[in-house]
């Protein structure tokens, strides 16, 4: 509140509406170091609020934007953003530069290095983020806009990373009427309760009913399940099921939008490794699947290797960019092999 971080009135998940920052500017002008507590603000109703998970990251980026800083440095316990979780894939490599959109997709897919809302704020205000270790002076990972100088003359890798997330649960409402408005009533009720729905799959049967499956954070299941049960009763559904034993695995890469066949290759790799896919979701630069939690590590390792992301001798595929030079166009479908020096 001393800094002037104004939020909405949603306690524990408040969103920043404005950062005044006058006192910080005054301290800097007086050549003092301003130490600001993150994770909190003051609501429009003049109540203290907390920002929820990743609130400190979001506070830092919001302050950087308000102060028109050149960049925002986030110090953490890792040396940057990696192509996969090194605890799951020891061969994972640190990524030098990511675009905002890639980092947004990785954060939304389950990467814990940066909070999703902090990256959204950075993209909206064009604030470069430097993620680096608190324990070394080593250069970390820069998260920047597409036109930033660090992105100049760079080709876009088809896949930048593989992200896993075991923090979601799957809820399924069985046998609801297959008519307009059913999905709307269900997801409107969940939205009103501030439950964030991720992946959604709807199956239609010949009997005029449908099953709707979707994933939510495990922390929100206690809120979501009674709502789904109530809607199910109103619709005379066949029942509601709840499954915690799932994991989401995502491929993320800015070059994916100009490279057909990524999803097909992903599905083939998983099939060859005996991993069954239960749900699928895609965006322009992301493909996500839900699998059994017990198969998560095997699936991530297989995909990381198949898409040439392992350290040492590896193959990185690059996509054709409209900004690429003629050499890049000529070699768009080639694979560049790099040997560990």
Provide the CATH number for the domain around residue 221: 3.30.2130.10
- Domain-embedded: residue 53: yes
- Degrees, nearest 5: CA angle 87-199-217: 60
55: pLDDT confidence band, cut at 50, 70 and 90? confident
| Domain shared by 173 and 309, yes or no | yes
Which candidate, 243, 245, 257, places its Cα nearest to that of 287? 257
Q: Is the pLDDT of residue 325 over 60?
A: no
Contact yes or no for 20/36 (Cβ under 8 A): no
155: pLDDT confidence band, cut at 50, 70 and 90? low
- Domain-embedded: residue 335: no
- Domain-embedded: residue 332: no
Q: Is the pLDDT of residue 277 over 90?
A: yes
Which phi and psi angles does 135 have, rounded to 5°? -110, -10
327: pLDDT confidence band, cut at 50, 70 and 90? very low
Which phi and psi angles does 122 have, rounded to 5°? -65, -45
Q: CA-CA distance, 124 to 109, in Å (whole number)? A: 19
Q: What are 252-262's pLDDT values in tens digits?
A: 999 898 889 99
Contact yes or no for 218/168 (Cβ under 8 A): yes
Name the domain boundary from 102, 120, 155: 155
Contact yes or no for 114/54 (Cβ under 8 A): yes
Q: For residue 177, how far is the Cα from the chain centroid?
A: 33
Give the domain extent around 270.
156-323
Q: 116-125 and 100-109 are packed helices; what angle lies between their axes, rounded to 10 degrees?
A: 160
Residues paired with residue 133 on neighbouring β-strands, in sequence order: 76
| Domain shared by 121 and 203, yes or no | no
341: pLDDT confidence band, cut at 50, 70 and 90? very low
Which candidate, 257, 323, 325, places its Cα nearest to that of 285? 257
- Name the H helices within the chain: 22-29, 55-66, 100-109, 116-125, 182-192, 221-234, 262-272, 296-306, 326-330
pLDDT at residue 152 in the model: 67
Mean pLDDT value of segment 200-221: 90
| Domain shared by 189 and 298, yes or no | yes
């Amino acid at each position: 509140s001393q800094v002037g971080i104004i939020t909405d009135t949603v306690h524990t998940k408040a969103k920043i509406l404005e950062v005044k920052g006058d006192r910080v500017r005054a301290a800097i002008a007086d050549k003092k170091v301003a130490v600001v507590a993150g994770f909190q603000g003051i609501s429009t109703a003049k109540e203290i609020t907390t920002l929820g998970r990743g609130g400190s990251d979001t506070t830092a980026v919001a302050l950087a934007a308000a102060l028109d800083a050149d960049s925002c440095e986030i110090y953490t316990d890792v040396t940057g953003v990696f192509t996969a979780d090194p605890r799951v894939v020891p061969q994972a490599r640190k990524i030098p530069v990511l675009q905002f959109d890639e980092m947004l997709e990785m954060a939304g897919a389950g990467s814990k290095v940066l909070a999703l809302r902090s990256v959204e704020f950075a993209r909206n205000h064009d604030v470069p983020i430097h993620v680096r270790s608190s324990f070394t002076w080593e250069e970390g990972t820069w998260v920047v806009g597409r036109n930033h100088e660090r992105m100049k003359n760079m080709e876009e890798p088809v896949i930048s990373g593989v992200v896993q997330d075991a923090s979601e649960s799957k809820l399924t409402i069985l046998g609801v009427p297959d008519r307009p408005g059913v999905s709307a009533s269900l997801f409107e009720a969940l939205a009103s309760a501030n439950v964030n729905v991720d992946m959604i799959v709807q199956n239609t049967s010949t009997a005029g009913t449908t099953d709707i499956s979707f994933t939510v954070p495990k922390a929100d299941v206690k809120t979501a399940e009674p709502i789904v049960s109530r809607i199910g009763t109103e619709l005379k559904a066949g029942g509601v099921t709840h499954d915690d034993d799932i994991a989401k695995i995502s491929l993320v890469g800015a070059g994916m939008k100009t490279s057909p066949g990524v999803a097909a290759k992903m599905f083939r790799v998983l099939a060859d490794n005996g991993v069954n896919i239960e749900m699928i979701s895609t965006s322009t630069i992301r493909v996500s699947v839900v699998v059994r939690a017990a198969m998560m590590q095997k699936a991530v390792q297989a995909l990381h290797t198949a898409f040439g992301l392992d350290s040492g001798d590896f193959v990185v595929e690059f996509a054709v960019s409209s900004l690429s030079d003629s050499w890049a166009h000529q070699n768009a479908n080639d694979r560049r092999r790099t040997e560990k020096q």
